[in-house]
Amino acid sequence: MICYLYPEPTYLIFSSDVPLLLYYSHIPTILLFLSIGLYVYFNDRHSLLNKLLLFISLCFSAWITISLIAWTIINAEIIAFIWPLFGVLAGLVSILCIYFVYVFLNKKDVPFSYKVAFTLLLLPLFLFAPTDLSVSGFDLTNCDSFAFEGIAYKVYYTLLGVLAMVWVLVLMVNGYRREVEEDVKKQILYVGIGIELFLFLFFSIVFLITYLVNLGILPDSRLEMYGLFGMVAFMFSIAFTSVKYKAFNVNLAAPVALVIGLWIFVFSLLFIRKIEIVQVIVSVTLFFLFIFGYALIKSIRREIRQRQEIERLAKRLKQANTRLRELDKQKSEFVSIASHQLRSPLTVISGYASMLREGGFGKLPAKAKESTERIYQSARLMTQSIEEYLNVSRIESGNMKYEKVDFNLRNEVERIANDSRQEAIKRGLLLMFKTDMTTSGIVNADVGKVVQAIHNLINNSLKYTPKGSVNVLVRDDQVKKRIYVEVIDTGIGMSEKTLNTIFQKFERADNAHKVNIQGTGLGLYMALKIIEAMGGTITASSEGEGKGSKFVLELPLLKCFGFEHLSFSGSII
Ligand code: ADP
């Protein structure tokens, strides 16, 4: 509006000579677009999709702002400055919509070639914006600010809008066809329709309405304002459907946007003075109230239903859990009874086999000697396994008894290492024992069970090390009041996956079977349970398969009894 007959507007946009509906259609639209864009963005700033939605809101809000200024301002210089921005912003909105749809469908950024194409398409708009090709002047005769826009420039950015509509349609149809999941298909359909209508209305506001006014088909360009209302609705639908299907990862966005929308629309009613337009405005507000209210109720109902479903599932899970615990207890009791029954006959078999192999019944022929040895070894292994099962069932039923006493852990470890040396020599391995102590290493624990756990760690290292060495190191930390037993070998090592499971019952690595056929997968489980009951823990680490393993057992130190120097002892075969 450039006319000496009109007064200068206050704050660039407030003038009494423009239709009031103009403010009602423009200002809430700007506020709504900005609040939706910013809300979605701040919920997850790293998501590319959220960033794109924010850019679309920013460009479109800027477009509406300059449209409002163009309606009210009477300063020719300002109009001459802002007019070319229409084309630039319209082009940006179109291209950003294509970008948005691509990322929405493919869940990844566009390829480099797309980015080049987008830049090339936008380049002419930026290059020619400050030239006569975009705006060459104004028609002052009818007090209107309709510019003499360069036809080529206008056609170009309008065509960009048409191109965006076609491009988005192709992307959406392809995405829809490719998708197999029904839920995602629906999501594509809703967002697709929303964005197409958004683009179509934008195209109508930017081009169609002015064109029809020029042809004399429409009386004036007021329809543009209704187009803006429509665009808000579609922006909502895009944000809402995307949120509903978790595309933006924002759960609260929809209800919050709806409530903000209602506030803004109802608040703006306060400024309506002319009775003729009250009907229009109340109808538009009612329309939005209906849509928002419906969506809000639906979303709340969905949330409530989901919560009820979760509560129902939690209850069932609890019941199932109780039943499982009962079954587990029954299983432990069964194992315990069965193991006890097996133990007595096995003791008899072992006893007689032992007497036979030691010549208690006279010298045996070579063949019989060999068979007796086999019977004896098998019975020994079986006794060990049964002992392990019994211990597991004791631990699980809470019947494991611990008798804690004060003892010197460092000395115990040295003794176990010495006892295991024979086995190491038999396997052709080097077994080293080292200490790095600042105290004498007294702990308060069940000595028999702790020894069993350490024995298990050293024994495992011997079993799972085909060649090389096993190092046992005892060290302490006076500040933390802990003592550590490290067992480090150069054996078959463990993968990341194996490391996560070895402390569970009956878990053995695939490579364990190759090196050591026998084994129950219970040793580490029990060792950990025992050490945990003493207030300590066991951790395992390995660089990977074939790269050796390291087990660290730690227990609380009882007292710090003075300093001992680093000592070293070992055996080399
Ligand atoms: P078992 O030795 O009877 O199989 P354990 O509970 O003692 O049962 O060990 C569980 C698994 O942990 C073993 O089967 C093996 O896969 C892995 N493991 C234990 N110690 C070592 C080690 N020193 N090196 C490589 N793997 C090991």
Binding-site residues, ligand 1, Cβ < 6 A? 456, 460-461, 464, 489, 491-494, 502, 507-509, 512, 519-525, 549
3-state DSSP assignment of residue 20: coil
Tell me the C-alpha distance between 441 and 562, whole Å. Answer: 10
Is 246's pLDDT higher than 60? no
The amino acid at 464: Y
Residue 443's DSSP bridge partners are 407
Higher-scoring residue by pLDDT: 242, 513: 513
3-state DSSP assignment of residue 12: coil
Secondary-structure breakdown of the chain: helix, strand, coil percentages, each rounded to the nearest 5: 65, 10, 25
Residue 473's DSSP bridge partners are 434, 486
Q: Is 189 exposed, middle or buried (0-12, 13-18, 19+ CB in 10 A)?
A: middle
Q: Which pLDDT score, from 0 to 100, does residue 570 have?
A: 42
pLDDT per residue over 298-346, tens digit each? Answer: 777 888 888 899 999 999 999 999 999 888 878 777 777 877 788 888 8
Expressed in angstroms and rounded, the spacing between residue 526 Cα and the centre of ligand 1 is 12
Residue 483's DSSP bridge partners are 476, 555
Q: Which of 467, 470, 489, 502 to mutate to test the pocket of ligand 1 (most atoms within 8 A of CB)?
A: 502
552 backbone dihedrals φ, ψ, rounded to 5°: -125, 120
Q: Which pLDDT score, from 0 to 100, does residue 4 have?
A: 56
pTM of the full structure: 0.49
Is 540's pLDDT higher than 50? yes
Tell me the C-alpha distance between 15 and 275, whole Å. Answer: 19
- Mean pLDDT computed over every residue of the chain: 81
Please say whether the dihedral angle defined by the alpha carbons of residues 99, 101, 107 and 111, taken in this order, is positive or negative.
Answer: negative
CB 386 within 8 A of CB 338: no
Cα of 496 vs its chain's centroid, Å: 21
Q: Which of 96-100, 188-192, 193-197, 381-385 has the highest mean pLDDT?
A: 96-100
CB 156 within 8 A of CB 125: yes
pLDDT per residue over 520-536, tens digit each? Answer: 788 899 999 999 999 99
Q: Which pLDDT score, from 0 to 100, does residue 261 have?
A: 67
pLDDT per residue over 493-502, tens digit each? Answer: 999 888 888 9
Model confidence at 433, pLDDT cuts 50, 70, 90, reads very high
Planar angle of CA 433, 555, 519, nearest 5 degrees: 65
Q: Which of 420, 508, 550 to mutate to test the pocket of ligand 1 (most atoms within 8 A of CB)?
A: 508
Is 434's pLDDT higher than 90? yes
Cα of 455 vs its chain's centroid, Å: 42
